[in-house]
Amino acid sequence: MQIKWIDRGVCYPEGFLASGVNCGIKKDRLDLGVLFGTTECYAAATFTTNKVKAAPVKISSEKLNKNKIYQAIVVNSGNANCCTGNRGLLDAQEMCRLTAQELNLPEEKVLVCSTGVIGEPLPMGNVTNGIKSACSSLNENDLPFAEAIMTTDTKPKRIAVEAILDEQTTIKIGGCAKGAGMIYPNMATMLAFITTDVEIPPDTLQEMLKNAVEQSFNRISVDGDQSTNDTVILLSPKGRKFPEKQYELFQNLLTRVCESLALMIVKDGEGATKVAKIIVKNATTPQDAEKAARKISNSLLFKTALFGEDPNWGRIMGALGAADITLDPNAIDIWFDDVQVVSCGMGMGKETEERAKLAMRKDQIVITVDLKVGKYQYHVWTCDLSYDYVKINAEYRS
């Protein structure tokens, strides 16, 4: 089998068209996109677990509970359509209706997503014109769509993969995502859209997406804040049935696509200069391993030390002690990449810390914590917290 990674997105698999336009929500950037499947598609999705849910999350999740067949997704950025009351729900429904009308589809085959500022009604006159423009300009170039879903992102995030099984069988998966701040599982202020060119039954598709999200988007943290609009949608066109014996391969490829997009989000975290993979191993339970990894990844003290390139392992020990897990402080070992800085709960001296400083100068680093009290492991990706993060969010609505 041959695997190729391609700098493309949701239109790399055959049968998908997309577009991105400016409709006036933002002054001079693309802010509305449409993704269209030329044939009926099975759809799977995961949504935010935040109790405050945006109108499009409510509308799309309700639709998916009733129906699994879709052909289009309409997305706007710059306005979250959240905390907008009944008007927000009507506006989200109207976005579906207008898109369906322009594409000559039943309204029930259209999903809707939004991202941006909370608490402001959508300018529906602009949105209406944008939907008409986006639906009339659909094509195989998926870059404008990836750009249209961005908010504080500094770059579009997209990737595609093709697996060649034999002369007759290939699989293509393409995806794009947005997200830079308000990032914390379960998912975050992120949207992700994934397509493939093979048919997977809807129940299996949902389970595969759930597994992939758990290994990727649910393991990232930029700032520990959870959003109201998180959505990941996967579309699988009907017609080209994929052999069940190859489902494991599809799952692996889907997970790798989601991991790649998730890492792009962390690397583009608001003001971020570094990415750290936090590995906690040998915990007493899977839950303890996860709690510990998340506690470290969300520690503001750790994240600022990461920005300052300071191997202050005491901040990691402090986070572990507050994590409500089974812990023996006198057993803990800690590494910065391959430099061990803590052995059996005690620091290993200034010389090792100097070597750890060199490791922290890199853009990416792996922090490994060995609890030595069990056999379970978990990992999370996070980024540093810089001056620019405060500046970006202080000026977000200005």
AA identity, residue 192: A
Q: Specify the pLDDT at position 391.
A: 72
Does 54 score more than 60 pLDDT? Answer: yes
Which pair of structure tokens corresponds to residue 54? 């945006």
Chain length of the chain:
398
pLDDT band at 227 (very low <50, low <70, confident <90, very high): low
pLDDT band at 169 (very low <50, low <70, confident <90, very high): confident
pLDDT band at 144 (very low <50, low <70, confident <90, very high): very high
Closest CA to 365 of 335, 337, 333, 342: 337
For the domain 2-267, what is the CATH superfamily, name and number? L-amino peptidase D-ALA esterase/amidase (3.60.70.12)
What distance in Å separates the CA atoms of residue 149 and residue 94, rounded to the nearest whole number?
19
Average pLDDT score over residue span 218-243: 82
Q: How far is CA 336 from the centre of its chain?
A: 26
- State the CB neighbour count (10 A cutoff) for residue 144: 18
Q: Specify the pLDDT at position 258.
A: 96
Closest CA to 23 of 62, 60, 65, 76: 76
Q: Specify the pLDDT at position 210.
A: 95
Q: Domains of the chain: which residue ranges?
A: 2-267, 275-394
Q: Specify the pLDDT at position 45.
A: 96
pLDDT band at 393 (very low <50, low <70, confident <90, very high): low
Percent of the chain with pLDDT over 90: 77
Does 386 score more than 80 pLDDT? Answer: no
Does 380 score more than 80 pLDDT? Answer: yes
Residue 8 or 186, more confident: 8
Q: Specify the pLDDT at position 395.
A: 62
User: Which of 5-19, 140-154, 176-190 has the lowest average pLDDT?
Assistant: 176-190
Percent of the chain with pLDDT over 70: 93
Which positions are annotated as active-site residues?
A: 189
CATH of domain 275-394: 3.10.20.340
Could you report the per-residue pLDDT of 248-305, keeping only the tens digit for each? Answer: 999 999 999 999 999 898 887 666 788 899 999 999 999 999 999 999 998 989 989 9
- State the CB neighbour count (10 A cutoff) for residue 70: 24
Average pLDDT score over residue span 142-150: 97
Average pLDDT score over residue span 132-151: 97
Average pLDDT score over residue span 47-56: 88
Using H for helix, E for strand and C for coil, what is the string for the chain? CEEEEECCCCCCCCCEEEEEECCCCCCCCCCEEEEEEEEEEEEEEEECCCCCCCHHHHHHHHHHHHCCEEEEEEEEEEECCCCCHHHHHHHHHHHHHHHHHHHCCCHHHEEEEEEEECCCCCCHHHHHHHHHHHHCCCECCCHHHHHHCCCCCCCCEEEEEEEECCCCCEEEEEEEEECCCCCCCCCCCCEEEEEECCECCHHHHHHHHHHHHHCCHHHEECCCCCCCCCEEEEEEECCCECCHHHHHHHHHHHHHHHHHHHHHHHHCCCCCCCEEEEEEEEECCHHHHHHHHHHHHCCHHHHHHHHCCCCCHHHHHHHHHCCCCCCCCCCCEEEECCEEEEECCEECCHHHHHHHHHHHCCCEEEEEEECCCCCEEEEEEEECCCHHHHHHHHCCCC
Q: Specify the pLDDT at position 389.
A: 66
Q: HSE on the CB side for 330, CA within 13 Å? A: 0
